[in-house]
Amino acid sequence: MKYNFDEIIDRKNTNALKTDALGPRYGNSDLIPLWVADMDFLSPPAITEAIIERAKHGIFGYTCPSQEYYNSIINWVDRFHDWKIKQEWISFIPGIVKGIAFVIDCFTTKDQKVVIQPPVYHPFRIVPTLHHRDIVYNPLILEAGQYRMDLEGLKKAIDPQCRVLILCNPHNPGGRVWSRQELIDIAEICYDNNILVISDEIHSDLAYAPNKHIPFASVSEKAAQNSITFMAPSKTFNIAGIVSSFSVIPNDELREKFHAYLASSELEEGHIFAYLAAQAAYEHGEEWLKEVKSYLWDNINFVDQYLKANIPQIKAMIPQASFLVWLDCKDLNLSQQDLVSLFVDDAKLALNDGVMFGSQGEGYMRMNIGTPRANIEKALQNLKRAVDSKQI
């Protein structure tokens, strides 16, 4: 490999949420951090070099996106996701969770409802709730070790007050890459019921072969005309702190309304390094991405094989995309409180509590494997000792 993903890089005292928030979040700053979804690898050198070169200029005034920035997004989405998008469809947004909040504020009122499909990324529930919108839950169905959508359940759950469905595509925490037919079916149901689809596609570049990410808006005309897609290079190239997300909206009316909402508070204006980093990533990051996905896939398989051989009470749901592994710990027969204590207090590990993704996450923990193998090995050894000591 050209890039060294085994290198251990100390992130403490860099204001990294993953390490420096351990004390406040977990009550112990000396844990192996396998929680918040960024990676412990150096980003592609081209990104760092582009930022350094621009910083040498020494003037950091008002900035605007270049034509090359737009071209890099358009070409990347076409090459990797077979979706031909137009420049006018694209707008910078200051983060996908913020984008979800903007859509809810722009397109719904307080007497209307938002549909989510738990277990799912917790801001999908938190953001609408904080905006005083009621949540309609359409839980996923666990079948043969993977989640699938409950489409019949969705038809029964929705009512005339439902105005937005937030789709996690690919899914977090389960890592499902939704099939074309599932996306078509969701598009039909939502279009026919006047429910706008927000498609969060932040993990789209991290699908593992033979799985292939399919942009929601690409599956049908109904999907294209009734959706707002959010994408970003942040998970893909480990640049979440730079904030370089963007929206893609094919429908003229939706786009005009949303872009006007953004412009009213200058929310569509990115900073110098947001545009620069995204362009560098999409123009020069392909080789790095290929290698990091290979390394991540090996980490996933290592976790799976280690658990089967040493802690069979815990089962890994093999993700079809992302560097997050959903761990089924139900066979430990612990309460959720005791399960979290096992990981934090006994194994000295910081993972995400499964319940934060909804009640369907009870008995689960989410593990971030985007870290050098040595950290994974140490974490699993700690976990084995903790389980063995409990004689579970």
Write down the pLDDT at residue 279.
98
Domain boundary among 284, 317, 351: 284
The answer to whether position 52 is within a domain reads no
| 74 and 137 fall within a common domain | yes
HSE-CB at 195 with a 13 A cutoff on CA atoms is 27
The answer to whether position 8 is within a domain reads no
> 65 is written with which tokens?
């996106």
Beta partners for residue 167, in sequence order: 199
Write down the pLDDT at residue 392.
75
Give alpha helix (H) positions in the chain.
17-20, 22-26, 45-55, 67-81, 96-107, 123-130, 151-157, 180-192, 221-225, 234-237, 252-264, 272-284, 286-310, 336-341, 373-390
Cα distance between residue 129 and residue 29, in whole Å: 30
| 308 and 371 fall within a common domain | yes
Cα distance between residue 200 and residue 246, in whole Å: 11
| 237 and 273 fall within a common domain | yes
**Three-class secondary structure of residue 209 per DSSP:** coil
Q: Count Cβ atoms below 10 Å from residue 215 Cβ, excluding itself.
A: 22
Sign of CA dihedral 350, 8, 294, 42: positive
| 242 and 340 fall within a common domain | no
The answer to whether position 216 is within a domain reads yes
HSE-CB at 54 with a 13 A cutoff on CA atoms is 18
- Residue 351 CA to chain centroid, in angstroms? 16
Beta partners for residue 247, in sequence order: 91, 230
The answer to whether position 3 is within a domain reads no
| 356 and 310 fall within a common domain | yes
**Three-class secondary structure of residue 270 per DSSP:** coil
> 143 is written with which tokens?
């079948």
| 343 and 248 fall within a common domain | no
Give Dmax (Cα) for the chain: 62
Instruction: Read off the pLDDT of residues 152-188 as tens digits, 9 standing for 90 and up.
Output: 999 999 999 999 999 999 999 999 999 999 999 999 9
- Structural domain count, the chain: 2
Question: In the 8-state DSSP scheme, what is residue 212?
Answer: -
Cα distance between residue 112 and residue 130, in whole Å: 13
| 321 and 188 fall within a common domain | no
Write down the pLDDT at residue 390.
87
Residue numbers of the chain with a pLDDT score lower than 50: none
Write down the pLDDT at residue 322.
97
> 116 is written with which tokens?
């989510």
> 139 is written with which tokens?
């839980």
The answer to whether position 312 is within a domain reads yes
For residue 147, the one-letter residue type is Y
Query: Which CATH number is 325's domain given?
Result: 3.90.1150.10
Per the structure, the complete domain to which residue 359 belongs is given by 17-44+287-386
Query: Which CATH number is 172's domain given?
Result: 3.40.640.10
Cα distance between residue 66 and residue 56, in whole Å: 19
HSE-CB at 386 with a 13 A cutoff on CA atoms is 21
Beta partners for residue 325, in sequence order: 367
| 87 and 146 fall within a common domain | yes
Q: What angle do CA 232, 105, 198 make, to 5 degrees?
A: 40
The answer to whether position 263 is within a domain reads yes
Domain boundary among 284, 308, 328: 284
Question: In the 8-state DSSP scheme, what is residue 216?
Answer: G
The answer to whether position 319 is within a domain reads yes
> 319 is written with which tokens?
């993700």
